[in-house]
Amino acid sequence: MGHPYAPAGLQLPGFVPLQLSQGQVLAPFLGTSLVVVLAIWLISGRCRGLSKTDRLLMCWWAFTGLTHIVIEGTFVFAPGFFRKENPNYFDELWKEYSKGDSRYVARDTATVTVEGITAVLEGPASLLAVYAIASRKSYSHILQFTVCLGQLYGCLVYFITAYLDGFNFWVSPFYFWAYFIGANSFWIWIPTLIAMRSWKKICAAIRAEKVKTK
């Protein structure tokens, strides 16, 4: 049976077509993400001494952490997701996303590696950042800065390898802009802004410590 992905010559033996529509795939993800963000926003309001920026950062780290672990983790540890006769929601999600980047359904080695590191290391570290911000831990900004660098590095590898491998992994311009570019852009500009903020906070703390020791 054929598949809807690009390039047309991609070999996917045993491929089982999508059973859910695009709306049925995206609605649960977007709805659950909204619930997570709202829940963290409300819970963070009970934490004393947190600014609105801190609370927004907690929402982001909770969202990105769960996305890394739950969504990306299921991709990494389910190599045959596109062949399942009775697929679960996550199998369907990755078959849908693969319309924007067929390296996922093809199990590209570099893609699996990047996603594996992201799910196993950056996911838990992101959730730790939620706790660190809420508890005002001294390592909060160092942790956030480090995870942001990891996310930015992963995005660089993701886009550069796509270019080097032919830059032809999407079904149409819509999926290129909506999935390949749009969905991933959040992990470029948000970590960049957070890294800049944490860098400034770390530098300010070091300067303050130097003044104390004079």
- Write down how long the chain is: 214
Alpha-carbon distances of 147 from 11, 47, 122, 188, rounded to whole Å: 35, 23, 6, 12
Q: Residue 8 phi/psi, 5° resolution?
A: -60, -25
pLDDT above 70 for 203: yes
**Per residue in 15-47, pLDDT tens?**
999 999 999 999 999 999 999 999 999 999 998
pLDDT above 70 for 155: yes
Alpha-carbon distances of 11 from 23, 47, 94, 107, 214, rounded to whole Å: 27, 52, 17, 11, 67
**Per residue in 66-110, pLDDT tens?**
999 999 999 999 999 999 999 999 999 999 999 999 999 999 999
Residue (of 201, 194, 196) closest to 61 by Cα position: 194
Chain centroid, CA 43 distance in Å: 23
